[in-house]
A and B are shown apart, each in its own frame.
Chain A
Amino acid sequence: MNKNIILYGAILIFGIAAPFIFPAFKVQLSILCILIILAITWNVQGGEMGYNTFGNILFYGLGMYLCASVQVGMFFPLGEWTEGGGEKTFVHTPAQFFQGFAVGLAVAAVVPAIVAGLIGYSILGLRGHYFAICTLGLGVAAGEISGGIEIIGAGQGFTTPPFPNVDRLEARGEFFYFCSFIVLVFTFLAVKAIYSTRFKLVLNAIRDNEDKAEAMGIQTMKYKIIGWMISAFFCGLAGGIMGGLVGYIDSTDVAFDGREMGVFMVLMAILGGKGTLWGPVIGATLFHIFKEGFWTFFLGWQYVALGVLIVVIVIYFPEGIMGWLREKYPERFGEVVDEADRKAQVTLK
């Protein structure tokens, strides 16, 4: 326990100090935080519940659009803003900006969770690969449809309000970094708390054998919907912050980017290890470092590398880093290993 406090304290201090130690990487660090949030929330859904989804991008994009729309719509007519495109006819005062962002984030978190709750009953009745393909369809459909809606910019995109410079202080990077970092800490603690309750055991029961779980008297549908709502809540938050950070929302390339973000979150969680608390964090960090390296040095070939990476991870490394460590050092994970018993085990094929 003592060790854990030191570990968490060290990470917290590093997290707070990071933008000042690496001032050039503030945006990258913020994106890292967002990626970790997405990986953790995907893991609640895909790792713990066993419902592998490509559709969490739906909530991420929804949160992004909602946050920006609320931030603009609270003070100015939304239609004129998006019609103006890049040319700013309206300027947020600092107070308006922060107020709008705060309300926007709240909406961006709550509405996706409600949406998940509403569609959950229909979609979560599907299982296995049908669920995966259905959510893939949902994500792409959302991107295509939002690309046709005029009021949020349609095909030309949506420029989020620019960060106001209070007293010529350039604090945009710090602001968004601390936003994403605080949300990350909040997400991590919330998920950690959830994982120590009976709820997590129910989710694992659903993953391992849903029919049996139902036969044992668990109302699986209720728990599945709640699990998806938790996932959607944090995805929406992450999307809202990401929208402000990027500064420009496009329906298929930024918000409902199933080809990038939608796959990244699955990949990060699998790379780190599905169904563990720390796995997605480690996976997302490694993945982000790899990705940035590749995006910088092999620009243009990044999707080729991404495709190869997906295939390699999925085929040769499906249990992830944490799964591999667990196999190697089971004692560290609190598993009691009886050496004689293990040797006596015969694996049947």
Chain B
Amino acid sequence: MDFLIFQVPMLTLQAVLDGLLLGILFALIAYGMALQWGVMNIINIAQGDLVILGGYIAYFMYLYGIHPAWGVIVSPIIMYFVGVIIYKLVINKVVDRDLFISILATFGISILFMQLMNFAFGADVVLANSGYGTTMLFDNSVTLPNSKIFSAFISIVFAIGLVIYMKKSKLGRAIRATAQNARAAKILGVDTEKVYAATFGINAALCGVAGALISITFTIHPYMGLPYTIRSFMIVIVAGLGNLPGVAMSGMGLGVFEEFADYILGTEFRIGSVFLLLVLILVYRRFKLSKKREYLK
């Protein structure tokens, strides 16, 4: 194996650091997905498109002369209401139904969003320049854009904030109760309809934060949503629902994997390798479970 990346240790370090910082962002999106999957039993294919929409909000702030970092605050607020509206229009009709119905319905939303964003924002790849500069490490051999460090920091802040909120606040307790047993929660006076709406809103808000950060650190494009959905799905199935450290770990693992795949296979196979990894993980888990004569449920 004579890949350049293994011969130059600094390049390996660079890939690992890039991957870790990227992975924290993935973990944030995956956390939203785990939340609504656990509470509402819905797989949201439009997750990635919510991320991209959040990114465009930050990008537009940048276009109008506001520093895009403020998008981290504005974008989740707007996205929360977008999420609640989506919930009221579509999701509340598929909550109790078959999971495939929810997959198809959110697939429809995803296509709708993709095209609407394409109309509204154009089909160009854009990024919001934060002007944070870069940090050089080890004699300039490892470069880390400060925006990536900033985005990782903000993601961690939001994740910790959300965990505390879920533990302490009244709504957080209601959400956790509904996740455990929706019917019992209803009997005990929890307005589950409201809880569901709030959950989907929080999920969308998390996507908004992640999107704003992605628009600062990477690029956004109307059609780039689906890979984010698949990544977060993958992270959730590896980590399991409600396992927050697991989500963070597998998110960072996926980030590192992607960076290495990028170096070794070439950029054109990057997205393909993510999707293939999903298939491989599912098949691996299927064989592991089938030894005990069980299957993924």
Contact = CB atoms under 8 A, between A and B. Distances in A.
Contacts of B272: 140-141, 143-145, 147-148
B103 A132 contact: yes
Contact of B296 (A130, A307, A309): A130
Contacts of B282: 126, 130, 133-134, 137
B134 interface: no
Contacts of B90: 311, 315
A308 interface: yes
Q: Is the interface of B mostly helix, strand, loop or mixed?
A: helix
A133 B112 contact: no
A129 to B, nearest CB: 4
B64 interface: no
A59 to B, nearest CB: 15
Contacts of B132: none
Q: Is the interface of A mostly helix, strand, loop or mixed?
A: helix
B276 interface: yes
A144 B269 contact: yes
Contacts, number: 131
Interface string B266-296: 1011011101101100110011001000011
Contacts of B263: none
B104 A310 contact: yes
B275 A126 contact: no
Interface stretch (A14-22, A34-42, A298-306): A298-306
Contact of A127 (B107, B112, B287, B297): B297
Interface stretch (B24-32, B54-62, B94-102, B202-210): B94-102
Contacts of B266: 148
B254 interface: no
A123 B290 CA distance: 12
A112 B119 CA distance: 37
A330 B180 CA distance: 41
Contact of B268 (A127, A128, A148, A266): A148
A300 B279 contact: no
A230 to B, nearest CB: 21
B105 A303 contact: no
A132 B100 CA distance: 8
B226 interface: yes
A278 B283 CA distance: 34
Contacts of B240: none
A310 B111 contact: yes
A263 B43 contact: no
B270 to A, nearest CB: 8
Contact of A128 (B100, B116, B287): B100
Interface string A137-161: 1101101110110000001000000
B105 A310 contact: yes
20 contacts: A123-B279, A125-B295, A127-B297, A129-B43, A132-B99, A133-B278, A137-B275, A137-B282, A140-B271, A144-B275, A147-B272, A148-B269, A259-B111, A307-B109, A307-B113, A309-B108, A310-B105, A314-B105, A315-B93, A318-B101
Q: 4 shortest A-B CB distances, which residue pairs?
A: A307-B112, A310-B108, A144-B272, A141-B275
